[in-house]
Structure 1
């Protein structure tokens, strides 16, 4: 989970959200969403670093792979969430899956980036 005290647009709380000490399921869900958003930002940073390092013939392949990966991630996490469909924990399941899967993909892209710098 995120360790900062975030401000989530559209969420009006009496006090700021503390993800180190979430007090209820709604706060835990919001912190999971924030964790995913942070993971997604990191993924996009690494992707934007990697793309220009590739030869022209590889760029469309990465773009296609990334689009397919996003579709996989989203549908797979929808599947994971379906186990708790309608429950208050469903958003936590979904955003935790998104964060975990996105972090794994970021690591893959970082490895590609490291490899291209070694060449």
Structure 2
């Protein structure tokens, strides 16, 4: 009989706790659906997380510019040269990714690895953008 009362008391306590938490959750103000994280200070990053984040941002920006210049060049080339550029660009991407993976491997397992890879990707992408900009300038002459 004592076990029966203990089981009922336990169930009642659990149910009461559940109702209290549910009521609290319903009455509590809900956080906004979307919260914007603080932007990193890429002019003077202070933590490894900021360095990694800023390196990633730098790469994304460089990649976006490369794609814009690449698309402009594609529009100006005759069909016979477009295919050659596409082939060259695919080979370059394969090289870039493999080369930057190699650079990242120097820091395997460390917190610097993401920044090393993103920095490499950004640098090679900027160099490739400059090459394509020269092709673009030559195509307008």
TM-score normalised per structure 1: 0.86
For 2:42, the equivalent position in structure 1 comes to 19
For 1:6, the equivalent position in structure 2 comes to none
Q: Matches of 1:71 and 1:100 in 2, distance apart? A: 15
Report the Cα offset of residue 16 of structure 1: 2.3
Report the Cα offset of residue 92 of structure 1: 0.9
CA offset digits 1:50-85 (Å, max 9, x no partner): 001111111111001101100100000000000111
For 2:78, the equivalent position in structure 1 comes to 55
For 2:55, the equivalent position in structure 1 comes to 32
Larger radius of gyration: 2
**Where do 4+ consecutive residues of structure 1 move more than 3 Å?**
none
Q: Matches of 1:117 and 1:106 in 2, distance apart? A: 17
Aligned residue runs from structure 1 range 3-14, under 5 A: 13=37
The answer on 1:76 being equivalent to 2:99 is yes
- State the superposition RMSD in angstroms: 1.3
Which has the larger share of helix? 2
Report the Cα offset of residue 45 of structure 1: 0.4
TM-score normalised per structure 2: 0.73
